Structures are given as structure tokens and as C-alpha cells.
Amino acid sequence: MAKKRKKSKSSQKAASGESDDGGKTTNLPEKGKADRRKARSDGIIMTLYPAVLGVIFGFASLQLFGTGVPEVGAVGMTYPWYFVMTLVIAITYYIQRFTYPFMKINVDEFKAKEWFYVEFIAVDLWLVTWTLLLN
């Protein structure tokens, strides 16, 4: 069995939250609270905005593309559902890319994870809305 090591005084102080300045702890600066509040409001916007876009595109897909299945004897060009989905992904990406700066959200800091998140919400709500309208 391995022997337990004793912790040094400085590591014990750090674990207990004490500092070397006589036990006084400092509070977070106000800038940290404002940053957290901004991040929270940005997160709410980045959830609701793609959801609304998805619902709008669900209604638009019903009007423009109907069922998304090529029907026998249909006049005009019919598009398959996977083409419509690719179109929705491309359009919602560019709409969000150019409208987030107007909402004071910095899209230059977005990584692949954030773009996947907002696109997943938009496509998910589009698919749910279109499916419900088709039934």
C-alpha cells in the first residue's frame, strides 16, 4: 500500500480558501459579474433565435416545398427532403452569421461547437415544425 503524504501548509491554505494576507479573502470584481450576466443573456439569445428561425423555416418549407417527396404527376420541380434540409442549414447559418453582430454577439469568437449548437437547434425545430404541419 502506498503511504499518504502530508500536505504542506501552503497547499492546506489554498485548499481551505485562506490566503497569505492574514486570512482575508477578496471578492470577485464587478467586471466578472457583468461578464457572467452578458454570457448568460448571450446564451439565451443563442438558444431562442435559432429556435424561432427553425419554426419560421418549418412554415416556409410547407409553403414552398410541400411534402418534400417527389410525387407522381406533380407539376413543376419537386425537391427531396434532404435538399430542403441542406438549404435550411445553409440559409440559417448565413442569417445567424450576419445578424448576431447586430445583437452584440461576437461571432468571431464562435468555435465549431457553438456553430453546431445553434445549427442543431435551428434544424431540429425546422424538422419538428415541418413534420407536425405535414400530419
pTM as predicted: 0.68
Per-residue pLDDT of the chain (135 residues), as tens digits, is 566 666 665 555 555 555 555 556 666 556 688 888 888 888 899 999 999 999 999 999 888 887 766 666 665 567 777 888 999 999 999 999 999 999 888 888 888 898 999 999 999 999 999 989 888
Contact 123, 92 (CB under 8 A): yes
Domain boundaries, given as residue ranges, for the chain: 45-134
How far is Cα of residue 61 from the mean position of the Cα atoms in its chain?
22
